[in-house]
Structure 1
Amino acid sequence: MFQLVVIAIVLAAVAAVSVTQSTDEFRDVRGQRMIAVAENLASTPIVRDRFADPFAAQILAPDVDRAVALSGAGVAEIADPAGVVRVSTDPSRIGRTLDMTDSGAPRGRAWFGDLDIDGVHSLAGQVPINDINGVVLAVVSVSERYPSVWQLLSGAGERLLVYLGLGAALGTMASWLLSRRIKRQTRGLEIAEIASLAEHREALLHSIREGVVAVNNDGLITVLNDSAQALLDVTAGAVGRRVDDVDLDPAVKEFLSSGGDGQSDVVIVTRTRVLALNRRAATSQGRRIGTVTTMRDSTELASMQGQLSSHKSVTDTLRAQTHEFANQLHTISGLVQLGEYDSVHDFVGALTRRRAEISDAVTQLVSDPAVAALLIAKTSLAAESGVALTIDGDSHLSALDPALSTDVITLLGNLIDNAVDVSEGSPEARVTVHLDDAEGMTVTVTDSGPGVPEHLREEIFARGVTSKPDVPGGRGIGLALVRLVSAQLGGTVDVTDAPSGGACFRVNLPPARLADHA
């Protein structure tokens, strides 16, 4: 309907222009014609001789009628200088006053223009009848009514009417075809229905808990719901910008920009969150239009996984100690059965001294009981795997606030577990721990494993991967958790090559944040 209205307006505008042009042309051409007829009538000898005669209306009637008949005019009149009509082709107008307000004829000049004659809009031409001295004696006026709009359109030519009709037909057909195409593409939905669907889509998209990010083939972000804005710490202004131009975590930016036609799942650890991302290719009518990535905040889940790992570590430690104690009890039982009581005394004393040495070696350097207990337990667990866990003699750690102690245990436990795993089976398998709280806190764990390839040193903390090829799917959530806890404490974690081979993981925590935490 809107297209049809536009077509009607265009056709009306064309018709209006045509009417205006025809009117102007009629006024110019016929105006000059009316002046010529009036001049011809004014120059007739009988008119000049008898226009003042009392019976001029009857005497000059044939001449004015002839002028009208030959020119196609409507009314021909002769009036005195005051405008009183003396002769007219319309007898009813004799004695009336001719409108000469805008005319130049009373001042001796020929003139043509618009007049209202008996309520009819007309085009008139007026010329004066002068004496030998130039004095105006009378005025001859010849007028013709303006044609109707239809007459003007008809006068513009039959082709114009044909063109207008053809334009209307073509415009109507084009509007109908356009309407069908739009309905087909919008599945028959009207504008209000489309707007309603778009509003519902936006409301649903922004109300779901999972973050949603859509990226087109050119790398532009096209959709970014409220949850994604919160998880990625960006604003809605990122929509319409390239992924590379948005301030995102490098690992997230790389994942969103990498594209791919298949489905991809990954865990990415930012500075403040653990995000589980799923990316799928988006297609429309069989054509790839970009990717859609959904994301969930797995920070709490990662923390729970870390706690479960800690509990598993304690369970493994207890299992190792149970196995060790069972072997020792079997030995003592055998010695008792053999009556070697002195050997039993010596064996128990040796066990006590060794246990005391391990405890003393840790507690002399580490004053926090929870951290010390973790190191003692990890020492026994590492020994069962054939790995020697030692505490650097230069280490020092004071008693910590319980909340901070829990975070340090998480950091240290995951780093030691990772180091023991990679050192197991290596020549002179050894893991060394160094703690320093002189300025802030530094936790350093060095292993004798194969080390971490340089190209994985950033990714190993971000994506939940591991440098150990024999671990299916990677077990790097522990290292990701180390990075997350370090960031929450305002610190950093990095990995380098150890001087004696293997990898060296170092966590640095600033003193200011530690004081705030305490």
Structure 2
Amino acid sequence: MRPRITLAGQFLALQLAIVVAVLLAVVGVSVAQADARFRQVEGQAMLAVAESAASMDAVRAGLAAPEQQGILQPTAESLRSLSEAEHLIITGTDRRMLSSTDPREIGREMDFGESSVLSGSTWIGVVRIGEERVLAAHVPVIDDEGVIIGVAVAGRSYPGPVEQLATAAPTLLVYVGIASVLGVAGSLLLARRIKWQTLGLEPGEITRLAEDRTAMLHGIKEGVLGLDRANRVTLVNDKAAELLDLPGDAVGRTLDELGVDTEIRRVLTDEEQEPDRVVLMGERLVTLNSMPLNRGNRRVGSVTTMRDRTDLAQLQQELDFTRTTTEALRAQAHEFSNQIHVITGLLELEEHDEAARYVSTIGGARTQLSDDVTSRVADSSVAALLIAKASLAAEQDVTLRVSAGTGLDAQDPDLSADLVTVVGNLVDNALDAVRGGPDPWVEVDLAEDNDAVRVRVSDSGRGVPPELAWKVFLRGFSTKGAESVYRGVGLALVRLVCSRRGGSVEVDGAEFTALLPTGVPRRPPP
């Protein structure tokens, strides 16, 4: 098994690698600087030697008269020995060498390379003289009439990389020493700081911890959203991204940039969080629980869990509806039992006429209620709901009436089911609001208007204060108190049903108005 390198060891190796890379770069820069310096300094020195040679009368005389070319070699060698040049060559305009440090080269054609000296200008560059690379300066030799009669070439052998590196060695040794000391010291200090910041965990342990956290974060069914102090997303799992409709690159972006709904953003960033807060996210009914993240005495962010309660809340509403129906039947059974006792007593007293009048009275009241509802509401489900709610209201000493302007035809099954949910929840909310008040009443008004069904439920209660009107559907506001875990779910479901059909619901004091478009199929929750 290979030994595992510690975090400090890894940082030390990395820093040393960086130091070596920097040193190589410094070596390259130093060599390049030495090369440029050599070209600059030595090139000017060779140019001065070549200009001196080109201006000598002996050189001009030797180039002007072929019979006097013999003086060029000693003249050039004499000048070369007095200068720093390693090569001093005189050539004619045909590039044939008339003098050279190697007599065997005399008479051979010289390689001028890219030199432009024959056009009348001086030139400094690298050429080859024999097998040697030479930094040379070319100067034209001009006679008294201004005609180019030859070229003076002064040069010095071009140093190789080793020689250039040797020239820069003293500086490089200083760089190496300083960089090594700083690199090792910096590596140790950095490793110590990182070790402290990571709570002593090694990279492998940090990787496993991150992988486990990611797997756990995306494996749970609840949504998890982390925010920092600036409301930027620090972590989000798949469920939270689905509920908030966030893109894949949400981490690091603020809620404003992600286009999160203003009301939901207000709930997520509220400093004072309530437990089990109910909100609507699109077509979902979601319970939020937020926990602040503190570092010392300073808040640095928050983590919010999101539990989708749509299906459970709808199931609870169905159970509540069943319970309401059962209670209405129980109330009717209790009422009928009392009425049967009265009838039985009248018969035992042989008050047959009184018994007949009593039966006619109670039967007429019940028939009148049913006829009053069914004459205005042709949809059997909604009519049955209103009759059941009327019996429940009567047991609570509340008058439930259907407005004289009510008119509702039979609707398709989907819209009928949505109407039952909306009417049932609004009536229940109104009954709770007027319970215990003086002369309590609840009025229901149903009407079809411009391809939509309008549901208006008003009561004799105090109504919703204007400052709370925006909260009643979003934040689980309820007049029921805190005894129910799902307080405010009924009104939230009303808004969910209306928005799902493309409608709306609003409140004005003690009057709730819901609008449900007809002919729109009810979309199942995602």
TM range (shorter): 0.7 to 0.9
Aligned equivalents of 1:266, 1:225: Cα separation in 2: 20
Partner of 2:230: 218
Q: Within 5 Å, which residues of 2 pair with 1:119-134?
A: 119-123=131-135
Q: Within 5 Å, which residues of 2 pair with 1:131-142?
A: none
Give the match's secondary structure for 2:472. helix
* Structure 1 position 131, deviation (Å): 10
Q: Within 5 Å, which residues of 2 pair with 1:150-165?
A: 150-152=162-164, 160-161=171-172, 164-165=175-176
Superposed CA offset, 1:90-132 (max 9, x none): 56x2755362757899999998765533312234578899999
Aligned match of 1:508 in 494, 497, 515?
A: 515
Sort the Cα spacing of 1:317 and 1:149 in 2 relative to 1 into closer, same or farther, 3 A: same
Q: Is the 8 A contact 1:41 1:67 kept in 2?
A: no
User: Does residue 13 of structure 2 align to residue 13 of structure 1?
Assistant: no
Aligned equivalents of 1:234, 1:342: Cα separation in 2: 75
Partner of 1:500: none
Q: Which moved more, 1:358-367 or 1:21-30?
A: 358-367
Look at both structures and tell me which one has the larger radius of gyration over its CA atoms.
1
Q: Is the 8 A contact 1:11 1:164 kept in 2?
A: no
Partner of 1:418: 429
Aligned equivalents of 2:127, 2:520: Cα separation in 1: 97
Sort the Cα spacing of 1:9 and 1:152 in 2 relative to 1 into closer, same or farther, 3 A: closer
User: Does residue 474 of structure 2 align to residue 462 of structure 1?
Assistant: yes
Aligned equivalents of 1:107, 1:391: Cα separation in 2: 114
Q: Within 5 Å, which residues of 2 pair with 1:474-493?
A: 475-493=487-505
The alignment's C-alpha RMSD in Å is 5.0
Identity %: 35
Aligned match of 2:385 in 351, 374, 380?
A: 374
* Structure 1 position 21, deviation (Å): 1.8
User: Does residue 163 of structure 2 align to residue 147 of structure 1?
Assistant: no
Sort the Cα spacing of 1:350 and 1:32 in 2 relative to 1 into closer, same or farther, 3 A: same
* Structure 1 position 347, deviation (Å): 4.5
Partner of 2:12: none
Q: What residue identity is the alignment partner of 1:507?
A: A
Sort the Cα spacing of 1:391 and 1:16 in 2 relative to 1 into closer, same or farther, 3 A: same
Sort the Cα spacing of 1:136 and 1:407 in 2 relative to 1 into closer, same or farther, 3 A: closer
* Structure 1 position 310, deviation (Å): 0.1
Q: Which moved more, 1:80-89 or 1:22-31?
A: 80-89
Aligned equivalents of 2:324, 2:102: Cα separation in 1: 124
Give the match's secondary structure for 2:276. strand
Aligned equivalents of 1:418, 1:211: Cα separation in 2: 30
Q: Within 5 Å, which residues of 2 pair with 1:185-334?
A: 189=203, 210-221=222-233, 227-233=239-245, 235=247, 242-244=254-256, 247-259=259-271, 264-270=275-281, 272-282=283-293, 288-332=299-343
User: Does residue 403 of structure 2 align to residue 396 of structure 1?
Assistant: no
Partner of 2:376: 365
Aligned equivalents of 2:147, 2:463: Cα separation in 1: 124
- 5+ unaligned residues in a row in structure 1: which ranges? 498-502
Q: Is the 8 A contact 2:501 2:522 kept in 1?
A: no
Superposed CA offset, 1:453-487 (max 9, x none): 11122211222221355756673211222222223
Q: What residue identity is the alignment partner of 2:228?
A: N
Aligned equivalents of 1:207, 1:321: Cα separation in 2: 51
Aligned equivalents of 1:94, 1:257: Cα separation in 2: 90
* Structure 1 position 422, deviation (Å): 1.8
Superposed CA offset, 1:74-101 (max 9, x none): 456778997777876656x275536275
Q: Is the 8 A contact 1:32 1:112 kept in 2?
A: no
Q: Is the 8 A contact 1:38 1:142 kept in 2?
A: no
Aligned equivalents of 2:416, 2:52: Cα separation in 1: 116
Q: Which moved more, 1:379-388 or 1:122-131?
A: 122-131
Q: Which moved more, 1:237-246 or 1:401-410?
A: 237-246
Aligned equivalents of 1:507, 1:452: Cα separation in 2: 16
Q: Within 5 Å, which residues of 2 pair with 1:13-92?
A: 13-33=29-49, 36=52, 42=58, 69-74=81-86, 90=102
Give the match's secondary structure for 1:461. coil
Give the match's secondary structure for 2:478. coil
* Structure 1 position 176, deviation (Å): 4.1
Sort the Cα spacing of 1:358 and 1:167 in 2 relative to 1 into closer, same or farther, 3 A: same
Aligned equivalents of 1:137, 1:249: Cα separation in 2: 90
Sort the Cα spacing of 1:115 and 1:310 in 2 relative to 1 into closer, same or farther, 3 A: closer
Aligned match of 1:118 in 123, 126, 130?
A: 130
Q: Which moved more, 1:472-481 or 1:170-179?
A: 170-179
Aligned match of 1:443 in 438, 441, 455?
A: 455
Partner of 1:408: 419
Give the match's secondary structure for 1:462. coil
Q: Within 5 Å, which residues of 2 pair with 1:320-359?
A: 320-332=331-343, 347-359=358-370
Aligned equivalents of 1:210, 1:148: Cα separation in 2: 71
Q: Which moved more, 1:334-343 or 1:268-277?
A: 334-343
Aligned equivalents of 2:442, 2:173: Cα separation in 1: 98
Q: Is the 8 A contact 1:368 1:397 kept in 2?
A: yes
Sort the Cα spacing of 1:84 and 1:308 in 2 relative to 1 into closer, same or farther, 3 A: closer
Sort the Cα spacing of 1:315 and 1:88 in 2 relative to 1 into closer, same or farther, 3 A: closer
Q: Which moved more, 1:26-35 or 1:262-271?
A: 262-271
Aligned equivalents of 2:367, 2:471: Cα separation in 1: 41
* Structure 1 position 32, deviation (Å): 1.7
Sort the Cα spacing of 1:125 and 1:293 in 2 relative to 1 into closer, same or farther, 3 A: closer
Aligned equivalents of 2:269, 2:497: Cα separation in 1: 27
**Taking structure 1 as the reference length, what is the TM-score of the superposition?**
0.74
How many pairs align? 499
Superposed CA offset, 1:265-317 (max 9, x none): 31113563322233333467996443333434332222212101101101211
Aligned equivalents of 1:114, 1:226: Cα separation in 2: 67
Sort the Cα spacing of 1:25 and 1:79 in 2 relative to 1 into closer, same or farther, 3 A: closer
Aligned equivalents of 1:53, 1:363: Cα separation in 2: 137
Aligned equivalents of 1:105, 1:476: Cα separation in 2: 98
Give the match's secondary structure for 1:279. strand
Sort the Cα spacing of 1:68 and 1:304 in 2 relative to 1 into closer, same or farther, 3 A: same
Sort the Cα spacing of 1:33 and 1:514 in 2 relative to 1 into closer, same or farther, 3 A: closer
Aligned equivalents of 1:146, 1:286: Cα separation in 2: 70
Q: What residue identity is the alignment partner of 2:515?
A: N
Sort the Cα spacing of 1:100 and 1:425 in 2 relative to 1 into closer, same or farther, 3 A: closer
Sort the Cα spacing of 1:7 and 1:83 in 2 relative to 1 into closer, same or farther, 3 A: closer
Aligned equivalents of 2:321, 2:47: Cα separation in 1: 108
